[in-house]
Amino acid sequence: MRWGSVAVIGIFTLVAFAAAQIPVELGEHRKPAIQTNGNCFIKGGTIWTGIGQVIEGGSILVRNGKIVAVGKNLTPPEGITVIDATGKFIMPGIIDSHSHIAIDATNESTDSITAEVRVHDVLSPQSLSIYRVLAGGVTATMTMHGSANAIGGQNAIIKLKWQRPVEELLIPDAPRVIKFALGENPKRANFTGDTVRFPTTRLGVEAVIRRAFDEARRYMQAWERYEKERRTNPYAVPPRRDLRLEVLADVLRGNILVHCHAYRADEMLMLMRLAKEYGFKIAAFHHGLEAYKILPELAASGVGVSTFADYWAYKVEAYDAIPYNAAICLKAGIVTSVNSDSVERMRRLNLEAAKCIKYGDLTIDEALRLITLYPAIQLGIAHRTGTLEVGKDADIAIFDGHPLSVYSKCVMTLIDGEVFFMRRDAFGVDKTATIKREVKICRTDHLSIPMPQNNARRYAIVGATIYPITKSPIENGVVLIEDGCIKLVGKDIAIPKDAVVINAKGLRVYPGLIDAGSVLGLTEISAVRATVDTSESGEFQPDLNAIVAVHPASEHFAVTRFVGITTALTRPTGGTISGQSAVIHLAGWTPDEMCIKSPAALHINVPEGFGALPSFARLMLQPEELQRLQEEGGARLRRLREFLERAKHYAETKAKGAEGIFDPRLEAMVPYVTGKLPVFFHTNSVRGIRTALQLAEQFGLNAVIAGGRDAWKVADLLAQKKVPVVIGSLWTLPSNDYDPYDAPWANPALLHRAGVKIAFQSASAATSRDLPYQVGVACAFGLPYEEALKAVTINAAEILGIDNLLGSIEPGKIANLIVTDGDPLEIVTQVHYLFIAGKPVPLESRHTRLYLQYRQRLKQPTPTVAHQPAP
Q: What is the DSSP string of 680-704?
A: EEEE-SHHHHHHHHHHHHHHT-EEE
For residues 707 and 517, what is the distance between their CA atoms, to the nearest angstrom? 9
pLDDT greater than 90 at residue 576: yes
Element (H, E) at 352: helix 349-358
pLDDT greater than 60 at residue 584: yes
Q: Residue 782 in contact with residue 749, Cβ under 8 Å?
A: yes
For residues 219 and 249, what is the distance between their CA atoms, to the nearest angstrom? 8
Look at residue 727 and give its three-state secondary structure: strand
User: What's the confidence (pLDDT) of residue 12?
Assistant: 46
Q: E strands, 164-255, where? A: 176-181
Confidence band of 103 (pLDDT split at 50, 70, 90): very high
Over residues 711-732, mean pLDDT: 97
pLDDT greater than 60 at residue 653: yes
Structure confidence by residue, pLDDT tens digits, 752-773? 999 999 999 999 999 999 999 9
Confidence band of 6 (pLDDT split at 50, 70, 90): very low
Q: What is the DSSP string of 74-104?
A: --PPTT-EEEE-TT-EEEEPEEEEEE-TTBS
| CA atoms within 13 Å, Cβ hemisphere of 44 | 9
Amino acid at 371: I
Cα-to-chain-centroid distance, residue 693: 30
Over residues 842-851, mean pLDDT: 97
User: What's the confidence (pLDDT) of residue 197?
Assistant: 80
Q: Is residue 228 exposed (0-12), middle (13-18) or buried (19+ Cβ within 10 Å)?
A: exposed
Structure confidence by residue, pLDDT tens digits, 109-120? 889 999 999 999
Among candidates 169, 94, 89, which has minimal Cα distance to 387?
94
**Range from 183-197, 213-227, 600-614 carrying the lowest mean pLDDT:** 183-197
User: What's the confidence (pLDDT) of residue 1?
Assistant: 29
Q: Residue 621 in contact with residue 5, Cβ under 8 Å?
A: no
Structure confidence by residue, pLDDT tens digits, 468-517? 999 999 999 999 999 999 999 999 999 999 999 999 999 999 999 999 99
pLDDT greater than 70 at residue 355: yes
Structure confidence by residue, pLDDT tens digits, 174-195? 999 999 999 999 987 656 566 6
pLDDT greater than 50 at residue 650: yes
User: What's the confidence (pLDDT) of residue 4?
Assistant: 40
**Range from 52-61, 321-330, 603-612 carrying the lowest mean pLDDT:** 603-612
User: What's the confidence (pLDDT) of residue 11?
Assistant: 45
Among candidates 13, 207, 7, 6, which has minimal Cα distance to 113?
207
Q: Is residue 871 exposed (0-12), middle (13-18) or buried (19+ Cβ within 10 Å)?
A: exposed
Torsional sign, CA 445, 446, 447, 450: positive
Q: Which residue has the higher pLDDT, 21 or 78?
A: 78
Look at residue 470 and give its three-state secondary structure: coil
For residues 789 and 786, what is the distance between their CA atoms, to the nearest angstrom? 5
User: What's the confidence (pLDDT) of residue 444?
Assistant: 87
For residues 666 and 69, what is the distance between their CA atoms, to the nearest angstrom? 73
Confidence band of 868 (pLDDT split at 50, 70, 90): low
User: What's the confidence (pLDDT) of residue 864?
Assistant: 55
H-state helical runs in 722-822: 743-754, 771-780, 785-791, 794-800
Element (H, E) at 413: strand 410-415
Q: Which residue has the higher pLDDT, 628 or 140?
A: 140
User: What's the confidence (pLDDT) of residue 858?
Assistant: 84
Q: Residue 837 in contact with residue 483, Cβ under 8 Å?
A: no
Cα-to-chain-centroid distance, residue 797: 25
Mean pLDDT, the chain, as a whole number? 94
User: What's the confidence (pLDDT) of residue 246?
Assistant: 98
Let me know the angle formed at the C-alpha of 532 by 527 and 536, rounded to the nearest 5 degrees: 120
For residues 180 and 164, what is the distance between their CA atoms, to the nearest angstrom? 29
For residues 120 and 114, what is the distance between their CA atoms, to the nearest angstrom? 15
For residues 387 and 379, what is the distance between their CA atoms, to the nearest angstrom? 14
Q: E strands, 110-162, where? A: 138-143, 151-154, 156-159
Look at residue 664 and give its three-state secondary structure: helix
Among candidates 45, 64, 105, which has minimal Cα distance to 412?
45
**Range from 10-19, 230-239, 306-315, 737-746 carrying the lowest mean pLDDT:** 10-19
Q: Cα–Cα distances in Å, from 441 out to 310, 357, 363, 506? A: 19, 8, 9, 13
What lies within 8 Å, CB to CB, of 192 at 6+ separation is: none
How many CB atoms neighbour CB 110 within 10 A? 10
Over residues 71-100, mean pLDDT: 97
Cα-to-chain-centroid distance, residue 702: 32
Q: Is residue 574 exposed (0-12), middle (13-18) or buried (19+ Cβ within 10 Å)?
A: middle
Cα-to-chain-centroid distance, residue 243: 38
Over residues 395-409, mean pLDDT: 98
Q: What is the DSSP string of 427-440?
A: TS-GGG----S---
Q: What is the DSSP string of 478-513?
A: EEEEETTEEEEEESSPPPPTTSEEEE-TT-EEEEPE
Q: Which residue has the higher pLDDT, 486 or 107?
A: 486
User: What's the confidence (pLDDT) of residue 389?
Assistant: 98
User: What's the confidence (pLDDT) of residue 658?
Assistant: 86
349 phi/psi in degrees, rounded to 5? -65, -25
User: What's the confidence (pLDDT) of residue 123?
Assistant: 97
pLDDT greater than 70 at residue 61: yes
**Range from 97-111, 148-162, 240-254, 837-851 carrying the lowest mean pLDDT:** 97-111
First-to-last C-alpha distance (Å) of the chain: 52
Confidence band of 630 (pLDDT split at 50, 70, 90): confident
| CA atoms within 13 Å, Cβ hemisphere of 388 | 32
pLDDT greater than 60 at residue 10: no
User: What's the confidence (pLDDT) of residue 3?
Assistant: 36
Look at residue 203 and give its three-state secondary structure: helix
Q: Residue 729 in contact with residue 775, Cβ under 8 Å?
A: no
Share of the chain above pLDDT 70, in %: 94
User: What's the confidence (pLDDT) of residue 191?
Assistant: 62
